[in-house]
Structure 1
């Protein structure tokens, strides 16, 4: 399963709505996740700059509808900075991610809100994939399982969204938000994969920085408005 698909499962409430704490910033997390998926499959690469630019490494289809639809959109945005792409609604993979999870039998399409307004709810049809995912992340946090790139990407994105502790409250075995943040930082900065390569690589670091900058940029107008009023 893709990183972006696993992230979406974690962000959903039992009723099929996105968790309130991340509803505003979901876009940044899911775009970052799908870009990570594309980078790990060699379709995009980042330049080595303070504010990296996303380059197209290959336009060869991956065979996965979520990734290929995103790749098609990015091709027309080549040369853009990573932070800019993370903030672009046009790159939001939500619809194709939901469709993919519905096809896999993980989600089902439910009812819309009151009077048929709002987006359709997509509650879980099969809870097993999320249960397995949460058990995996719990073991990674506890140090009893070696972290994969997907694990570290998920933990890092959740932390950047400010939602790691809220979403992984049971999986962090009573750790405080501060302690969980420190644990995630430790994992991302020092974990290695099966080949011995550092998992917290330049792509992950760049995505972390870009996500933080994107969220800060999004919050600034609200902060300024509150200060003025």
Structure 2
């Protein structure tokens, strides 16, 4: 199955290669997706504390460049540390590696930045099938016609944590309003077949994401 990071990247990227929604924190989401895959792979775990900590279980390479990137960074700096402490670590963000893999597989094209970086890099879609498969699966989960996999629960939880689920899944939500969609996603996440560790990790990261995004805005607005 397509890695969670790659599926999330496509959901958060428009067909023209631009970011899905101004202000969407794609990097935060990708870190969460990467950590969830590492937990499912048995490489890391999270404690059951109120503010969970990361623990290294198996530091051997996975063969997946995105996961191995995260594993190396965690071993270097975050083993035993609170999950919330890594949310703003730009070196942990696997976006460039995700883009490289999607481009190598012919899913996206990389259009380099222009005007000294004022026009950012874009990733126009070349092959829409992988994203469409993800969307079809999530639509079935949201409607209740298919059971959610742990990946599905993770994707939905991260989208909700980024506050873009209602926009990104407008077609797949079956007409649910923002509040009802949130409730449905919470219901799916509560039954995550990936286990408590994945659920705890995503919940902790979503809380950290909200703090990282909201506090600077509040401080800026009050200055």
TM-score by length of 2: 0.92
Q: CA RMSD in A?
A: 1.8
Q: Are the counterparts in 2 of residues 73 and 91 from structure 1 also a CA contact under 8 Å?
A: yes
Q: How many residues align?
A: 221
CA deviations over 1:99-156 (Å, ceiling 9, x no partner):
0111111111124344664442111110111111101100010011110000000000
SS at match of 2:81: coil
C-alpha separation between the residues in 2 aligned to 1:3 and 1:116? 28
Distance change (3 Å), C-alpha of 1:100 and 1:188: same
C-alpha separation between the residues in 2 aligned to 1:87 and 1:115? 25
Q: Which residue of 2 aligns with 1:164?
A: 165
Distance change (3 Å), C-alpha of 1:221 and 1:117: closer
Q: Which residue of the other structure, out of 204, 207, 221, is the alignment partner of 2:199?
A: 204
Gaps of 5+ in 1: 194-198
Q: Which residue of 1 aligns with 2:130?
A: 129
SS at match of 2:45: strand
C-alpha separation between the residues in 1 aligned to 2:123 and 2:58? 33
Gaps of 5+ in 2: none
C-alpha separation between the residues in 2 aligned to 1:224 and 1:50? 26
C-alpha separation between the residues in 1 aligned to 2:35 and 2:128? 26
Deviates more, 1:9-18 or 1:163-172: 9-18
SS at match of 2:55: strand
C-alpha separation between the residues in 2 aligned to 1:9 and 1:208? 22
Offset at residue 29 of structure 1 (A):
0.9
TM-score by length of 1: 0.90
C-alpha separation between the residues in 2 aligned to 1:200 and 1:79? 20
The answer on 1:7 being equivalent to 2:2 is no
Q: Which residue of 2 aligns with 1:227?
A: 222
Q: Are the counterparts in 2 of residues 189 and 200 from structure 1 also a CA contact under 8 Å?
A: no
Offset at residue 65 of structure 1 (A):
0.9
The answer on 1:174 being equivalent to 2:189 is no
C-alpha separation between the residues in 1 aligned to 2:169 and 2:88? 25
